[in-house]
Each structure stands twice: as structure tokens, then as C-alpha cells.
Amino acid sequence: MTIPVPDAASYPGESLDDDAAPNVPARTAWLDRTVAACLVVVTVVLGWNRLTPLVRRTAWAEDAGLFLVQRLDRGPFATLLLPYDGYLHLVPRIVVDLVVAVATDEDQFALGMTIASLTVVGLVAALVFLFSASFVTSRVMRAALALVPVLAPMAALEALGNAANLHWFLLYLLPFAVIWRPRRMPGHVVQVIVIVVVVLSEVQSVIFLPLVLLVVLRRVTRSGAAALVLACVAQLASVVASPRVRGDAPLPEVVNAAFGFVAEPVMGSWVSPGRAADLLTGPHGVAVALAATAPFVIALGAGLARRGGARNLLIAVLVYGVVAVWVTDVYANPTVTIDFVSRGMGLTRDMGYVRYALVPSMFLIALLATGIDRLAASRYLVSRGGAVLLVVLLVVALTRQFEPYSYTRISGPDWAASVATARVACEANPEGVVRVASAPAGWGLDVACSDLDGDGFGR
């Protein structure tokens, strides 16, 4: 797979702390391309190892029960811009189309979706690495920013390995794409394509519409701003045409949203749900919550210690993303899992994390990496020592949480085994319709026995 990257001269000409850096040499650009390609592979391998063998073979919810059903009913390409639940899902539908076209047997669908979905996250990592070249000094820290989607503790909570949840990782990519400033036409084309594809896959992209105002300060390209606006208009039009089904949970109180932020995006960046709840409800809960928040505050202060420059822009956008995404999601998706005032801070132990805590968590970890980069670039020994300490803290936390703890898919069902069972049923009734199950319970695919011929759904 070829990664669409600009040529050397497409890198923006501003440095991390001023606006007068020279163009990036061709040799450096080729090195970046090579690292980006490697990051795709590394991300897929890491993501694969965060899923259990059974989870890898389990199809997820909309992947089989909606996107595949509609793809088989309408044919290739016909569903790409079909709204569902209020918005467009371009990338997930592309992934389903590709897997259906490539799979040589129906029982390969779930495994194909896992690999294809992890590859998309790998492409997100590669693009974040390339787009962050203007804002972060070290390639190591840029790689850290790129690997956040696959290393974030909450990424293992049903997000990795399925197409329906790719929108979370695409939303992480969006601000990097919007504030990137290519200097030549190939870079502008890449930027526009990435922005349009992301926005047409995730309605929450409208949260970043205020970034177009940075055009006035020449911090956002006009082509990028236009792509963001037009794609958001298309998404909002789909919201009007296909209203979203809402639950009846009451809107959370402000204090619940605040407690929830500490209990979920903050604590979720360090520990898994059960452990987070135990820490918060223990005798030193307040101290633990403050300690979990402190590294992000330190990173923010360190990153902004020197005024001006592109790094400050990235930090400001990350902070905006943390707050805006969390607040928007909490109030746009009211749920009883954000009720810490009446049910206590141990709620995450019983209910787990809410799925929309993932993106604020990824932005927080990215903010930490950016602050570490600033400290490491300092000429003061104390600052560099602080950077080493934060790196150790982050590596230890992410390593301890690098495990599969999917809740819903942990027990299957195995897609291939379900297809085999369906074929047995079809032997008794060749003209019948059988069910191929996916997770969670109740989702799956009803398929005619005549279509289970072992040649793949698309053949």
C-alpha cells in the first residue's frame, strides 16, 4: 500500500519556534517517508497483539449487521455516501467494500475486517507522523504521537480491529491534517483528500470548524479550510436528511461532566476501568486523581513556556480538542454512565469507560508527548531530566495497559464457525435463509443459503 505523502518541498517552511526555517532536504523527506511506512506495519502488529485470537475472528455490530448487509443488497460503491444514524461513514463503508471484494470465502470476512481496520489505523499513524513534522522536534516524539491511537489504553475497548469505530482514530488525525501547512500543490492535494475523507466519516469533525478562523493568521491553508467547511456542510446535510436516534437519558450536570473527565479520559490514559475506579474510590482517591492529572498540566506548561511558534499552535489545538470533544460528546450522548455525583466515582468499575472518552484520552497523551519534546529540547538539565521522567512514566503506564480487554467481543462469536454452522443448516434446507452471528448479541447477517457457496460475498 502506498502512503500518499508530499515531496520534500511540500513541507511547511516554519520552524518550531519561529517562521524562518529552511526547506526540508530531500534526504530528510525520504527518511520521513520510510519511517511513516514502517509505522503502518508497526501499528498493525501492535494492534493485532492487542486483540485476542477470538476477537480477531469476530465481526463487530454495524460491520456485519449494517454495512455488510447494505453492501450486499445495493452492490459495490452504492453505499459509500449512504447515511446511517444521522451521518456519513465513508471510511468504514470503503473498508467493507474492499474486504468483500478481496475475500475469497465468506468465512474470511471478520478476519479481513480486522486486518483492514488495523491498516487504516496504521495509515492514521503514518499521516500523523508526517503532518507533525512542523510542530515537533524529535522523530521519536513524532512517532510517539503517531502511535498514540494503537497504544492508548482505551483503544482496546472495542475500538481497534473493526470499521465501525474507525471514526475515533480519524478524529484524532483531523486536527493534525487541518493545521498542517504544505507549501506545494501535491501537499495541498493530500491535505484536502485527508480532510474530506475524515470529515465524511465522522460527524464530530464539526467540532474543529473553528480552526478555519486561523486562516486569518495564516496558520491554516485556504484549501484546507475550504475542504473542512464543505465536508462539514455535507455531513450536516446528512444529519438533517437522516436524523439520529437519541436515547432518553437526562443531560448530565456540569459537576458530573467534570468528575467524568477525571475518571475517564484522564485516568483512562493511565489505567484500565476497574483499576481506575479502585484508585478513585480508595482512601487516597483525590491524591491519585491529582497525580494522574499533574503530568498533563506539566506538559502543557512546558510546551507553552516559550511563546510563539508552531508547537504552541499544536498544543493549543490539542487542548481545545480535549475539552471540546469531551464536552460535546457528554452532552450530545447523555448516558447513565456519567452519573458520578449520585453513584460514586467507582462507577467506571461497574459500567466501564464510555466509548467517547477515547479521543480526549488520545489528545491528552499527545499533549504529554508534545510537552516532553519541548522539555527534551531545552538547554537546561533540569528540564531534560523532567522529560526523561515523564517518558519513563508514560512508557510504564502504556506498557502495563498493553493488553486485550475487550468486553463485548472477548467471547466471540467466531465468524468462521458461525458460517460453518450456517452451511450445515443449509444442507437441510438449501432454499432457506440462515443467520451468521456477530458481536454484540443480536447483531449479525441474514443470508440466503444460495449465497453461501464458499466463493466470497462479492463473487
Q: How is residue 149 written as a grid cell?
A: 491511537
pTM for the model stands at: 0.91
Going from N- to C-terminal start, the domains of the chain cover 8-410, 411-451
Q: Looking at residue 6, what is its pLDDT?
A: 41
| Angstrom distance (rounded) from CA 425 to CA 431 | 11
pLDDT at 157: 85
Q: Are 221 and 189 in contact (CB under 8 A)?
A: no
- Residues in the chain predicted with pLDDT less than 70, given as ranges, are 1-27, 246-247, 307-308, 382, 405-406, 458-459
The kind and range of the H/E element at 379 are none
Distance separating alpha carbons of residues 363 and 366, to the nearest angstrom: 5
What pLDDT, on the 0 to 100 scale, is given for residue 1?
A: 41
| Amino acid (1-letter code) at residue 181 | R
Rounded CA separation 283/294 (Å): 19
What is the pLDDT, as a whole number, of residue 134?
Answer: 83
Strand partners, 447: 434
Q: How many residues does the chain have?
A: 459
Angstrom distance (rounded) from CA 313 to CA 320: 11
Yes or no: say if 119 and 166 are a contact pair by the CB < 8 Å rule. no
CA distance 18 to 204: 32
Give the CA-trace dihedral at 226, 232, 233, 236, to 10 degrees.
-170
- Cα angle, residue 56 at apex, residues 438 and 166 outer, rounded to 5°: 80
CA distance 217 to 221: 10
Q: Return the biggest CA–CA distance within the chain.
A: 77
SS3 call for 433: strand
Q: What is the DSSP letter of 220?
A: S
pLDDT of residue 458: 57
- Please report the pLDDT score of residue 4 as a whole number: 43
Residue 447, phi then psi, degrees to nearest 5: -135, 140
**85 phi-psi bin (left φ>0, alpha ψ -120 to 50, beta other):** left
